[in-house]
């Protein structure tokens, strides 16, 4: 059984930062930007992203980790994605593509989930027990 952990203050701040980026960028017209993500490096720096929907769109987690890698980060601690224009935001689990991408880049990362209305975190490895090699 996967081990769920309670969030600490830094994790709760990460959820708020993901919510803030989507509040500022939510697209009411075409719904191209509806999800915000935040990834925290082990050094404590946070990188944000929003999804970019379209024929070849990208998830918010991809955008956030791309920003982090562009800035030179390579070691990550925790990631979260949220949906919605207004708080409280719904925390979304990473899709299959994001799980695989995160595993390839940062297999020891924690992921914040919302289970029965409670924010908790889990090891990425527990979300993707059999990744593609």
As annotated, the active-site residues are: 61
Question: What is the DSSP track for 53-117?
Answer: -STT-B-HHHHHHHHHHHTT---EEEEEEEE-SSSSPEEE---HHHHHHHHHH-TT-EEEEEETT
What does the alpha-carbon distance between residue 89 and residue 74 come to, in Å, rounded to a whole number?
A: 28
Locate 31 and state its tokens.
């719904």
């Amino acid at each position: 059984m996967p081990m769920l952990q309670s969030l600490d203050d830094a994790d709760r701040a990460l959820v708020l930062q993901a919510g803030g980026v989507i509040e500022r960028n939510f697209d009411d017209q075409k719904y191209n930007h509806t999800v915000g993500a935040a990834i925290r490096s082990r050094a404590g720096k946070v990188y944000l992203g929003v999804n970019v929907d379209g024929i070849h769109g990208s998830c918010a987690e991809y955008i956030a980790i791309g920003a982090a890698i562009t800035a030179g980060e390579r070691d990550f601690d925790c990631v979260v994605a949220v949906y919605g224009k207004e708080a409280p935001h719904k925390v979304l689990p990473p899709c299959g593509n994001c799980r695989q991408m995160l595993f390839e880049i940062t297999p020891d990362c924690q992921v914040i989930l919302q289970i029965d209305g409670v924010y908790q975190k889990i090891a990425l490895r527990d979300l993707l027990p059999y990744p593609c090699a």
